[in-house]
Structure 1
Amino acid sequence: MRAFVSVERLRFILNRFRERLWVKPLAMCVLSIGAAFAATLADSALSEQFVPDISQDSIEALLSVMASSMLVIATFSVTSMVSAYASASSTATPRSFTLIVADDSSQNALSTFVGAFIFSIVAITASKNAYFDKTGLFVLFAITVLVFAIVIVKFVTWVDSIARLGRVGSTIEKVEKATAAALERRRREPSLGGVPRGDGPAEGDPVYASSIGYVQQIDMSALSAWAEAEDARVVVDALPGTFASSDRVLAYVRSGAGTERPGGDYSGVVNAFQIGGDRLYEEDPRFGLCVLAEIAGRALSPAVNDPGTAISVVSRLLRLFTDWSQPVDEATLFSTIQFDRIEVPTIATRDMFDDAFTAIARDGAGTVEVCVRLQKALRSLAASENAETRDAARYHARLALERAEHALRVSADLEAVRGACVAAD
């Protein structure tokens, strides 16, 4: 049984809260109520002779203007954000929705507008009921002016952000950023802090999933604590992004001495695997690659016919794989091993290339400019110092060329693709 909630699981939960649109506005509402009532503390902390006279009517007039305008602006911002979310889902892919919702600029703007509205309502109510003395009214006036300034600055900056939110280019940029972060974490911790798993078949008692869905996260700290308590070794078989069902093995368990364990209570192992209905970006680098490929595939559909977007995606994939192929010092890799009782498989580069390039090569086979750009990207990756990257790039270059040979009908187009293909050298 798990005796604690690890930092990893807490971080995972906090990240899910960050994707909820109501969290920041709720926090800002609480802060706004506190700010409105904090003005009364000045009545006992400062002498009235040190503050100027502020008309209560002028403060209430300002607060009334803020209350009426902020309600309108908050409603407008929600409408604009919903339109941006719908645009991202229809023009890019529904899988980008979580990234669009988690956009800090939009969440902060909505929080500011809602918080200013709540602040004005609470402050008006308190002021009309003579809650503030002379000093409190002055502090309330100062806070009101500050809130006005914050709202104006936030609105001006938010207008620029909302104009871009939901556009294909902005969505691709967000997906690339999330994928790059996930790839960098996995590049530096290829086994999630555990021991790299060997190539042979795993031995031990199989532990099956208790629910159906995608593995979203593996709580390595909790898994290690269970293995320590049970004097066991755990061989992970399902990385984040794996679809789990009742017949899917999550991990194998054997004794610390390496022998197979008799059947036992493996609920601690099962609980360490967070399973949900959707794949997530931060723990699953391959998901980001799939989403980028999906955006390119939609752009290449006859209904959209936008090869420029597909070419942009290919360029970003080239950048991602180039960063992924950078060598990591052996000492650095060794220092990342924190859980020596857990064996975790690494992600195969060939699998990531399959996720990224197969759909683009298939859907863009009849578009010469996409084929040429894809071949140039694969040629660049084939020159990498990383052997797995070189092999995967050459394999996909041959595969993309074969698809192009079946789809392109003009000999000059085919020659252009062959000339760019590294496998044709």
Structure 2
Amino acid sequence: MMATLISFERLRFLFNRLKERLWVRPLVVCLLSVSAVLSAKLADGTPLGSYFPELSIESVQALLSIMSASMLVIATFSVGSMISAYSSTSNTATPRAFSLVLADDVSKNALSTFVGSFIFSVVAITAVKNAFYGKASLFVLFVLTVVVFAMVIVTFVRWVDSIARLGRVGSTIEKVDNAALASLLRRRNAPLLGGIPITEEAQPGKEVHCSRIGYVQHIDMVALQAWAEEFDVIVEVVALPGTFTAPNQVLAYVRQASQDIADKDLSRLTKAFQIGDDRLFDDDPRFGLVVLSEIAGRALSPGINDPGTAIKIIGTLIRLISQWNEPAPDNCHKKVLYDRVAVPSLSVPDMFDDAFTVIARDGAGVVEVAVRLQKALCSLASLGDEDISKSAEYHAGLALKRARKSLDIEEDIAHVEKAAEFWCQ
């Protein structure tokens, strides 16, 4: 029963993993190109042929030959440019953002168009040279060739504009920002993933472990609910997406079990936890904060010395946390969908640790970064949320201590202390 249930969230997770594969979209476009070449033959069986002008085979062959010769070169050039952009992302930003750059739609569409056009022209030339087309179908093929050629030109112009930004720090920050915001809003709208809250008086149950070492990437709540209903138990999730797991780490507890549950049945339960080698942005809101913090930390390194990027990321982090703190929309259902799965909520102190620890540590000796961090944390404290205010106050005090120890000039220290006056009131 559990294997037959596939939730929308599970499909979304699998679809996103498929989107990250560079070969998927070019393969689909290649198949469509071959289908378009062969489907042109259908025009010969219709009376439309009498309305079409007669074209010479040589003219169509010449156009297809030009396309086939140029598309392979352009496709090779595009791959080289994309690889350079991917390398730039790892060197100037952080390797953790590589998956987002790899999933860039403009680059994938460009590569797919170039490769698909090459396949289209090669298959069409082969068909034309073997007298596969009649008068009507040859004209249809000519029209398709002109359309494909126009698509190539438009795609190339758009791609050149995009590749100039792809891999740059600003573009990478924007992609991480969008991925983190989507994940945060998804968790805000479903803080318990559709499950029930964990009660303090709940008794510990049977521990569930996983033999694989890695990160929890996704939790299949439908599978957990089905398993819990089958054995009439409550499953208490411990390892949220982003948690590092090892054989000695607990994934979940099984509570209120009225019977002994075999190990093989518990192994079925662990299959609901997708374990992988890397953290993913989809269901792990904290990962986006970690990656943004890493980019800021690298910008503050002596080799790069770019405090402006760190200041920009501080503003991005403030906006992300502020949007996460906003009330969920009225049309967002927060009803319990899985009444046998207890899920912990996202920890605000952990979010602040992920977002600001690296910046406060590496930017302690940069007065403009230390001042901006104090002002940013003050703005977060004014949001009115108690957990956010406490975490902001804690990190502001810690950042002030680091700044006092790292700064040498009294005027710089006084500047940071003035920015921190909010906490001394």
Partner Cα separation in structure 1 for residue 207 and residue 66 of structure 2: 65
Query: Once superposed, what is the RMSD of the aligned Cα atoms?
Result: 1.5
User: Which residue of the partner structure matches residue 52 of structure 1?
Assistant: 53
User: Which residue of the partner structure matches residue 316 of structure 1?
Assistant: 316
Deviations, residues 352-389 of structure 1 (Å, cap 9, x unaligned): 00000001000000000000111111010010121111
CA gap of 1:261–1:299, structure 2 versus 1, over 3 A, is farther
Partner Cα separation in structure 2 for residue 162 and residue 156 of structure 1: 10
* Alpha-carbon distance, 1:328 to partner: 3.7
1:103 aligns with 2:113: no
User: Which residue of the partner structure matches residue 286 of structure 1?
Assistant: 286
Partner Cα separation in structure 2 for residue 90 and residue 348 of structure 1: 31
Give yes or no for contact 2:242–2:286 (8 Å, CA) kept in 1: yes
User: Which residue of the partner structure matches residue 260 of structure 2?
Assistant: 262
User: Which residue of the partner structure matches residue 249 of structure 2?
Assistant: 248
* Alpha-carbon distance, 1:18 to partner: 0.5
User: Which residue of the partner structure matches residue 374 of structure 1?
Assistant: 373
The amino acid that maps onto 1:19 is: E
Partner Cα separation in structure 2 for residue 55 and residue 5 of structure 1: 57
CA gap of 1:128–1:5, structure 2 versus 1, over 3 A, is farther
Give yes or no for contact 2:189–2:334 (8 Å, CA) kept in 1: no
Partner Cα separation in structure 1 for residue 176 and residue 239 of structure 2: 24
User: Which residue of the partner structure matches residue 276 of structure 1?
Assistant: 276
1:327 aligns with 2:327: yes
Partner Cα separation in structure 2 for residue 329 and residue 42 of structure 1: 52
User: Which residue of the partner structure matches residue 156 of structure 1?
Assistant: 157
TM superposition score normalised by structure 2: 0.96
User: Which residue of the partner structure matches residue 344 of structure 2?
Assistant: 345
Unpaired runs of 5+ residues, structure 2, are none
Deviations, residues 228-262 of structure 1 (Å, cap 9, x unaligned): 1221110001000000111111011123xxx5753
Give yes or no for contact 1:193–1:338 (8 Å, CA) kept in 2: yes
Partner Cα separation in structure 2 for residue 332 and residue 142 of structure 1: 47
CA gap of 1:37–1:333, structure 2 versus 1, over 3 A, is closer
Give yes or no for contact 1:418–1:424 (8 Å, CA) kept in 2: no
CA gap of 1:69–1:329, structure 2 versus 1, over 3 A, is closer
Partner Cα separation in structure 1 for residue 258 and residue 183 of structure 2: 34
CA gap of 1:181–1:202, structure 2 versus 1, over 3 A, is farther
Partner Cα separation in structure 2 for residue 342 and residue 200 of structure 1: 16
Give yes or no for contact 2:43–2:137 (8 Å, CA) kept in 1: yes
Give yes or no for contact 2:37–2:124 (8 Å, CA) kept in 1: yes
TM superposition score normalised by structure 1: 0.96
Q: Secondary structure at the match of 2:153?
A: helix
* Alpha-carbon distance, 1:424 to partner: 3.2
Comparing 118-127 and 1-10, the one that deviates more:
1-10
Q: Secondary structure at the match of 1:241?
A: coil
Partner Cα separation in structure 2 for residue 175 and residue 261 of structure 1: 46
Q: Percent identity?
A: 57
Give yes or no for contact 2:181–2:320 (8 Å, CA) kept in 1: yes
Comparing 39-48 and 381-390, the one that deviates more:
39-48
* Alpha-carbon distance, 1:111 to partner: 0.3
The amino acid that maps onto 1:169 is: G
Partner Cα separation in structure 2 for residue 325 and residue 175 of structure 1: 19
User: Which residue of the partner structure matches residue 404 of structure 2?
Assistant: 405
Q: Secondary structure at the match of 2:196?
A: strand
CA gap of 1:334–1:10, structure 2 versus 1, over 3 A, is closer
* Alpha-carbon distance, 1:50 to partner: 1.1
Give yes or no for contact 1:214–1:244 (8 Å, CA) kept in 2: yes
Matches within 5 A, 1:158-237: 158-199=159-200, 203-237=204-238
User: Which residue of the partner structure matches residue 26 of structure 2?
Assistant: 25
Partner Cα separation in structure 1 for residue 327 and residue 49 of structure 2: 67
CA gap of 1:23–1:330, structure 2 versus 1, over 3 A, is closer
Give yes or no for contact 1:212–1:245 (8 Å, CA) kept in 2: yes
* Alpha-carbon distance, 1:45 to partner: 2.4
User: Which residue of the partner structure matches residue 393 of structure 2?
Assistant: 394
Q: Secondary structure at the match of 1:340?
A: coil
Please identify runs of 4+ aligned residues in structure 1 that moved more than 6 A: none
User: Which residue of the partner structure matches residue 307 of structure 2?
Assistant: 307
Comparing 284-293 and 326-335, the one that deviates more:
326-335
User: Which residue of the partner structure matches residue 78 of structure 2?
Assistant: 77
Give yes or no for contact 1:299–1:309 (8 Å, CA) kept in 2: yes
CA gap of 1:200–1:91, structure 2 versus 1, over 3 A, is farther
* Alpha-carbon distance, 1:23 to partner: 0.4
Partner Cα separation in structure 2 for residue 101 and residue 191 of structure 1: 30
Q: Secondary structure at the match of 1:278?
A: coil
Partner Cα separation in structure 2 for residue 121 and residue 414 of structure 1: 69
CA gap of 1:59–1:349, structure 2 versus 1, over 3 A, is same
The amino acid that maps onto 2:318 is: L
Comparing 187-196 and 45-54, the one that deviates more:
45-54
Partner Cα separation in structure 2 for residue 227 and residue 136 of structure 1: 60
Deviations, residues 54-85 of structure 1 (Å, cap 9, x unaligned): 11110010000000110010000000000000
Give yes or no for contact 2:204–2:255 (8 Å, CA) kept in 1: yes
Partner Cα separation in structure 1 for residue 47 and residue 253 of structure 2: 67
Matches within 5 A, 1:79-158: 79-158=80-159
Partner Cα separation in structure 1 for residue 328 and residue 151 of structure 2: 44
Partner Cα separation in structure 2 for residue 409 and residue 3 of structure 1: 63
Unpaired runs of 5+ residues, structure 1, are none
Partner Cα separation in structure 2 for residue 106 and residue 219 of structure 1: 31
Give yes or no for contact 2:43–2:49 (8 Å, CA) kept in 1: no
User: Which residue of the partner structure matches residue 417 of structure 2?
Assistant: 418
The amino acid that maps onto 2:27 is: L
Give yes or no for contact 1:253–1:261 (8 Å, CA) kept in 2: no
Partner Cα separation in structure 2 for residue 325 and residue 63 of structure 1: 56
Q: Secondary structure at the match of 2:234?
A: strand
Q: Secondary structure at the match of 2:4?
A: coil
Kindly tell me the number of residue pairs found equivalent between the two proteins. Answer: 421
